[in-house]
């Protein structure tokens, strides 16, 4: 396709409840959307970057800059753009995977809509619905946490993930385990809040019989994750560290991670995400689909990815109402703890452009 224009929309999405992690508390999401127009049709992509560089070095304002001044010009200069050609096309720009992923999503959406193919079929999905988990933020009290978790259990979620940090770990985990019972799927995510000297402390989570502990240490610190995995029974799962297929293979081979969280935005797009999935399947490593509080646009694509064969654990692919009272697309609704995989062309969902306009945080930026 020939890319004709790219419009960047900033949309403010209020959260149904604040979401707190070890790196901060959010009450609304500042979403960057990419609307791409080409000679063969249109596509939308969602950028997962947060408003501040606290989960990763990328953040929304930076993504706008790098798309407008560095990545979009590469697309306009190319005679023929396809999703498969983007990795090569984007090589002049180092890093900035979340920005690249947002453009890749828009290119893919346009390409697949034009050919009448769904994301699910194109990526290699083998399921028509996916098992869903939910990520539960750090709460104001253990009683509030137990109420929130109970609500998700009642809604049918098939796995609970608790955010933890030093001072909010052993006791909340113990109490939630006691509440949901010994067989319920439970895991924790530290978002890099611990350091190597906390290994004995993290070992005290073993009696909770968790599915996994996600990313306790720094993104660059593979070695401490290797040491942790050797010291405790709970499986270690990397999120922030896994930025490419090469890092994924290295971390697996070193014994740092026995389960991998795949987030397309973090790794530069859906095609790199599939490459990581394939590398994990080859090595017998289970994967699951992470989330970044996506609106229906990113959620639709994630649900399609989560339908690939290696995604054997429930993902953070929650229903739309986990975060948003009203979504930017038709809502994703939990049925028996699962979401249906969209099967229409492209992402399979329709963007509510009236809401994109109504909830705009800034004037759209047209790049051409
Ligand atoms: O570490 O998985 C994470 C949200 C923002 C940044 C990082 C993470 C998360 C989540 C929420 O855990 C996942 C979701 O429900 O979208
Ligand atoms: Mg995580």
Please list the rounded mean pLDDT of every run of 10 residues in the chain (368 residues): 98 96 95 98 98 97 98 96 97 98 98 98 98 98 98 98 98 98 98 98 98 98 98 98 98 98 98 98 98 98 98 98 98 98 98 97 94
Lateral strand order in the sheet of 159-163: 133-136, 159-163, 186-189, 213-214, 236-238, 259-262, 287-289
**Does residue 210 form part of some domain?**
yes
Determine the angle formed by the axes of helices 245-253 and 270-282, rounding to 10 degrees: 20
The pLDDT score that the predictor gives to residue 216 is 98
- Are the C-beta atoms of residues 75 and 81 closer than 8 Å to each other? yes
Q: What residues are paired with 101 via a beta bridge?
A: none
Neighbours of ion ligand 2 (CB under 5 A): 189, 214, 239
Q: Which protein residue's CA is at the shortest distance from atom 14 of ligand 1?
A: 291
Query: What is residue 160's three-state secondary structure?
Result: strand
Q: How far is the CA of 291 from the centre of ligand 1 (A)?
A: 5
Cβ-proximal residues to 342 (8 Å cutoff; 6+ apart), any chain: 118, 119, 120, 300, 303, 304, 348, 349
Residues 199 and 299 in one domain: yes
Cβ-proximal residues to 9 (8 Å cutoff; 6+ apart), any chain: 32, 33, 34, 35, 356, 360, 364
**Does residue 178 form part of some domain?**
yes
Residue 325 belongs to domain with CATH number:
3.20.20.120
The pLDDT score that the predictor gives to residue 120 is 98
Cβ-proximal residues to 157 (8 Å cutoff; 6+ apart), any chain: 132, 133, 134, 314, 318, 334, 337
Residues 52 and 95 in one domain: yes
- Are the C-beta atoms of residues 39 and 107 closer than 8 Å to each other? no
Catalytic residue among 100, 161, 163, 165: 163
Q: Which protein residue's CA is at the shortest distance from atom 4 of ligand 1?
A: 292
Active-site residue flag, 2? no
Cα angle, residue 38 at apex, residues 32 and 44 outer, rounded to 5°: 25
The pLDDT score that the predictor gives to residue 129 is 98
The pLDDT score that the predictor gives to residue 314 is 98
**Does residue 329 form part of some domain?**
yes
Q: Which protein residue's CA is at the shortest distance from atom 8 of ligand 1?
A: 292
Residues 190 and 314 in one domain: yes
Of 55, 218, 290, which is best to mutate to test ligand 1, by the most ligand atoms within 8 angstroms of its C-beta? 290
In 3D, which of 91, 104, 127 has the Cα closest to residue 341?
127
Residues 198 and 326 in one domain: yes
Residues 355 and 276 in one domain: no
Q: How many domains in the chain?
A: 2
Alpha-carbon gap, residue 365 to 201, rounded angstroms: 48
| Ligand 1 cavity residues, CB under 6 Å | 55, 135, 189, 191, 239, 290-293, 316, 318
Q: How far is the CA of 48 from the centre of ligand 1 (A)?
A: 10
Of 133, 163, 240, 291, which is best to mutate to test ligand 1, by the most ligand atoms within 8 angstroms of its C-beta? 291
The pLDDT score that the predictor gives to residue 276 is 98
Active-site residue flag, 263? yes
**Does residue 180 form part of some domain?**
yes
Kindly give the residue spans of alpha helices, DSSP state H, lying in the chain.
60-66, 72-77, 86-89, 97-115, 119-123, 142-155, 170-180, 199-203, 222-231, 245-253, 264-267, 270-282, 296-305, 353-358
- Are the C-beta atoms of residues 304 and 118 closer than 8 Å to each other? yes
Counting from 1 in the atom list of ligand 1, the atom nearest the Cα of 191 is 1
Token representation of residue 216? 């306790």
In 3D, which of 32, 27, 29 has the Cα closest to residue 10?
32
**Does residue 148 form part of some domain?**
yes
Residues 107 and 170 in one domain: no
Residues 147 and 217 in one domain: yes
Q: How far is the CA of 25 from the centre of ligand 2 (A)?
A: 15
Residues 109 and 151 in one domain: no
**Does residue 345 form part of some domain?**
no
- Could you give the count of Cα atoms lying within 13 Å of 57 in the half-sphere of its Cβ? 9
- Are the C-beta atoms of residues 89 and 75 closer than 8 Å to each other? yes
Residues 109 and 129 in one domain: no
Inter-CA distances, 113 with 62, 91, 102, 266, Å: 29, 26, 17, 24
Residues 240 and 330 in one domain: yes
**Does residue 252 form part of some domain?**
yes
Q: Which protein residue's CA is at the shortest distance from atom 5 of ligand 1?
A: 292
List the domain range (segments joined by +) for residue 70. Answer: 3-116+350-367
Residues 260 and 360 in one domain: no
Residues 27 and 87 in one domain: yes
- Could you give the count of Cα atoms lying within 13 Å of 304 in the half-sphere of its Cβ? 30
Q: How far is the CA of 351 from the centre of ligand 1 (A)?
A: 23
């Amino acid at each position: 396709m020939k890319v004709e224009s790219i419009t960047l929309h900033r949309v403010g999405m209020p959260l149904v409840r604040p979401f707190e992690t070890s790196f901060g508390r959010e009450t609304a999401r500042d979403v960057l959307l990419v609307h791409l127009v080409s000679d063969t049709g249109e596509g939308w992509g969602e950028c997962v970057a947060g408003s501040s560089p606290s989960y990763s070095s990328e953040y929304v304002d930076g993504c706008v800059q790098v798309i407008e001044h560095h990545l979009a010009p590469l697309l306009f200069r190319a005679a023929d753009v396809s999703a498969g050609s983007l990795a090569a096309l984007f090589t002049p720009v180092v890093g900035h995977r979340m920005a690249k992923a947002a453009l890749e999503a828009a290119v893919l959406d346009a390409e697949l809509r034009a050919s009448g193919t769904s994301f699910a079929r194109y990526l290699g999905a083998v399921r028509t619905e996916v098992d869903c988990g939910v990520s539960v933020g750090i709460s104001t009290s253990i009683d509030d946490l137990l109420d929130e978790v109970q609500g998700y259990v009642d809604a049918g979620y098939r796995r609970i993930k608790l955010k933890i940090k030093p001072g909010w770990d052993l006791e909340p985990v113990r109490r939630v385990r006691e509440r949901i019972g010994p067989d319920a799927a439970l895991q924790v995510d530290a978002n890099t809040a611990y350091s190597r000297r906390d290994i004995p402390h993290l070992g005290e989570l073993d009696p909770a019989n968790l599915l996994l502990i996600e990313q306790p240490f720094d993104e660059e610190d593979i070695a401490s994750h290797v040491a942790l995995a050797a010291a405790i029974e709970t499986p270690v799962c990397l999120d922030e560290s896994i930025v490419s297929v090469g890092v994924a293979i290295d971390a697996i081979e070193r014994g740092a991670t026995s389960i991998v969280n795949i987030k397309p935005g973090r790794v530069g797009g859906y095609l790199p995400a599939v490459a990581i999935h394939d590398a994990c399947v080859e090595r017998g490593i289970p994967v699951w689909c992470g989330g970044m509080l996506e609106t229906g646009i990113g959620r639709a694509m994630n649900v399609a990815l989560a339908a690939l064969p290696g995604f054997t654990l429930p993902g953070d692919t929650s229903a739309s109402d986990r975060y948003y009272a009203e979504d930017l697309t038709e809502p994703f609704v939990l049925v028996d703890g699962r979401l249906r995989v969209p099967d229409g062309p492209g992402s399979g969902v329709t963007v509510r452009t009236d809401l994109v306009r109504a909830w705009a945080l800034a004037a759209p930026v047209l790049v051409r």
